[in-house]
Structure 1
Amino acid sequence: MRHTWRWFGPNDPVSIDDMLQAGVQGVVTALHHVPTGEVWTPEEIARRQDLLSRMRDGAPSGLAWEVVESLPVSEAIKTQTGDWRGHVANWITSMRHLHQAGIRTICYNFMPVLDWTRTDLAWRRPSGATCMRFDLYDFAAFDIHILQRKGAAESFPEDIRDEAGRRFAAMDDARREQLAGNVVFGLPGAAERLSMADVRDLLDSYAPVTDTVLRGNFHAFLEQVAPVAQDLGMRLCCHPDDPPFPLLGLPRIMSTEADYAERIAAVDLPANGITLCSGSLGARPDNDLPGMMRRLGHRVHFLHLRNVRRDADTIPASFFEDEHLGGQTDMVALVDAVLAEEARRRAEAREDHQIPMRPDHGQDILDDIGRGGQPGYPAIGRLKGLAELRGVEAALSRKGAA
């Protein structure tokens, strides 16, 4: 695997020096400041590459921008409303500019409205570490009583509705505000703290968009962008839903192995690939991550390795971000499947025989606590995860070579 690290740009408190000392080989980043739907210009791409090339004291870092995460797909494209065709054209132009800059892998997602959803961004563990958590009962309290979405109550079984009501009644105003802010943090524009009215308007825009409609819109997008990527020698890799089950009445079409297989078959080109995120997919008990890697590995262009622990084997269920080797996904078996796929690619002399991987998320430990970094992206917690994954990789590689 090629060890990469996600960086959120010059305002990220985890610096270039930090990630270099972590021993990463490449960088995953994006132009987060460019509004969704607009073109990523060669000048902005080059500016980001220049930032990555230097350490704090000006010395060469030796690091390069290797994976884009994410080149955002606008809500207009997902709903096929407004200037969605212009947004697709701009997405393709941005892809061409990235290719000109030497970047070959683009991670993106097709999640409606939500990029990810958590109810706690710093949930305390017995060790004193903190992590992100999705609590189904707290989410129901948000959906039914804070957002007051039409039809929300009917979206949950009676026992969840009842417990959500009890929890909401026990919350003071500060906790209610915190819960709403945590959920909204995963929405577009969250830095501007979207109001509940804004969120309701976004959800209303999806009223006519069923699972079938969203699938069709996704395939229409792929039919336009994947052939261009194929001609350029680019690799596109869609990220799964996070979490991988319906929320807020929105459709979910990237939550299971069957979803992935359907998207791959829709435009059957090598450029049309997937991001295998063991954390997002692992929030469902019916997702067999090592098996998915074995069966879909030929189209895996990017790996997010993290682990979650579910409170129950139901769909949906509450879960929290566990240590990389501590959750319910068999990370050793998953890495073993990755190495087998890489060996197969080397035997075929594939240029992409080494799959980029980043240690996804991590618990806040030691000096991470109080640093104020991006939720889920601590320096030391990710370094710990990377070290653990490296150890697994090294042990399996040694065993395979014996």
Structure 2
Amino acid sequence: MIESWRWYGEFDSISLAEVAQTGARGIVTALHDIPYGAAWPQEAIAARKRQIVQAGFDWVVVESLPIHECIKKGEGDLSALFANYRQSMANLAAVGVKTICYNFMPLLDWTRTDLAAPVTGGATCLRFDAVRMAAFEIHMLGRQAAEAAYSDAVLAQAGAWFQVASDDERKGLLSAIMAGLPGAFDRYDIAGLRVALAAYDGIDRAALRANYKRFLDEVVPAAEDLGIRLCVHPDDPPLDILGLPRIVSDADDLDWVLKAYDSPANGITLCSGSLGANPKNDVPAIAAKVADRIHFAHLRNVRKDADGSFEEAAHLDGDTDMVALIRVLLDEETRRRDAGRADHAIPFRPDHGHHMLSDLTRDVIPGYPLIGRLRGLAELRGVIRGLAHA
């Protein structure tokens, strides 16, 4: 497996020189300064690749080449947006970058309610708290329809939290929910979020699937011609949120994605944390089912609560059997190698991490500290080496 590290370029306080000390040799990044929907210039892509190569790395995965919201909504004349996406793919392929991670989550990327929830020992982690999310949806956004998504106990606790929460606490909750958009250009206040959500009125699960199918039909043939592998990231969290449908959340969803355009170029980013937050998902079993279409892996773990809350656990703790999952990935690599594939190795990165030690006082992107991910990478490396020599 190819040990990789997500790096946010000029927006990242962690330098490539520091990343080199982790032992990772692949970089996962994007051109985060380019607005969604615009074509990525080949010159800018080449410059970023030179920067990465000169630092001693390979640029192994683009994460992400974002999909414009109009495509997700199926809104207006989309020909220029699809053309720009295909041109970006062509420009990436021209400099040898041929694995592209993306997601089809409406409006918001990963969503958390707490960016610094306490962890035993003094570290902090990202957390999705069902009570705070209910308080946000119902009492801050005024989305009464959200009540159906929560238990009576959660609704009661949400109301109680909202009654005693200070203005700063409410602002902090909004800020945490907005923080899952690194590199994005939109940040919303409550009024702005209401307007943005209203743009999705009438778009249900079936409509969003139809828009996703249209996207695949428009871009996968070009990916095939270019030798590019596209790999969709599962929804995070894997449940409908803010009234928005989610369509990449479980085994059935992944089966639909792969059948919607049946091609090796249409694949999966296997994110053990996103899938693992859904109580019905057996992540190693899902990985085994879609193994031949896994082009990239995010390895992290979560610990779930009965009320629907979850938080980031240490990489070898939590509810997902990480050893069993890595066994599936290594077996798939063996199958590819035996089939004669030169590109049999699966790139992975330690996803998210606890904020600990000096990371606690350092300005880093939420969920992407240096030391917490280094710990995760070291643990994952040990599992991989151990299984490889078993």
TM-score range, shorter chain: over 0.9
Q: Distance in 1 between matches of 2:183 and 2:265?
A: 30
Q: Distance in 2 between matches of 1:38 and 1:83?
A: 15
Who is 1:367 aligned against?
358
TM-score calculated relative to the size of structure 2: 0.97
- Letter matched to residue 345 of structure 1: R
Gap regions ≥5 residues in structure 2? none
Q: How does 1:304-343 map to 2 (within 5 A)?
A: 304-312=298-306, 317-343=308-334
Q: 1:190 to 1:62 in 2, by over 3 A?
A: closer
Correspondent of 2:71 among 50, 72, 77: 77
Gap regions ≥5 residues in structure 1? 55-60
Who is 1:20 aligned against?
20
Who is 2:106 aligned against?
112
Q: Distance in 1 between matches of 2:142 and 2:50?
A: 46
Quote how far apart the aligned CAs of 1:363 are: 0.3
Q: Would you say 1:358 and 2:349 are equivalent positions?
A: yes
Who is 1:346 aligned against?
337
Q: Would you say 1:149 and 2:180 are equivalent positions?
A: no
Who is 2:7 aligned against?
7
- Letter matched to residue 384 of structure 2: E
Q: Distance in 2 between matches of 1:110 and 1:83?
A: 19
Q: Distance in 1 between matches of 2:185 and 2:141?
A: 18
- The number of residues matched between the two structures is 390
TM-score calculated relative to the size of structure 1: 0.94
Who is 2:265 aligned against?
271
Q: Would you say 1:92 and 2:86 are equivalent positions?
A: yes
Quote how far apart the aligned CAs of 1:34 are: 0.2
1:106-141 deviations in whole A, cap 9, x for unaligned? 000000011010000011112100110000000000
Q: Would you say 1:168 and 2:136 are equivalent positions?
A: no
Q: Distance in 1 between matches of 2:226 and 2:342?
A: 14
Correspondent of 1:281 among 275, 296, 300: 275
Quote how far apart the aligned CAs of 1:188 are: 7.9
SS of the aligned residue for 2:9 comes to coil
Q: 1:190 to 1:150 in 2, by over 3 A?
A: farther
Greater shift after overlay, 183-192 or 270-279? 183-192
Q: Would you say 1:219 and 2:204 are equivalent positions?
A: no
Q: Distance in 1 between matches of 2:247 and 2:38?
A: 25
Q: Distance in 1 between matches of 2:387 and 2:305?
A: 30
- Letter matched to residue 210 of structure 2: G
Work out whether residues 35 and 185 of structure 2, in 8 Å CA contact, stay in contact via their aligned partners in 1: no
Q: CA RMSD in A?
A: 1.4
Quote how far apart the aligned CAs of 1:352 are: 2.5
SS of the aligned residue for 1:244 comes to coil
SS of the aligned residue for 2:290 comes to helix
- Letter matched to residue 110 of structure 1: F
SS of the aligned residue for 2:361 comes to coil
Work out whether residues 30 and 71 of structure 1, in 8 Å CA contact, stay in contact via their aligned partners in 2: yes
Q: Would you say 1:257 and 2:257 are equivalent positions?
A: no
Correspondent of 2:378 among 369, 387, 392: 387
Work out whether residues 185 and 191 of structure 1, in 8 Å CA contact, stay in contact via their aligned partners in 2: no
Quote how far apart the aligned CAs of 1:150 are: 5.2
Kindly, what percent of the aligned residue pairs are identical?
50
Q: 1:180 to 1:250 in 2, by over 3 A?
A: same
Q: 1:199 to 1:187 in 2, by over 3 A?
A: farther
1:173-228 deviations in whole A, cap 9, x for unaligned? 11111011111222588666421111111111111111001001101110111111
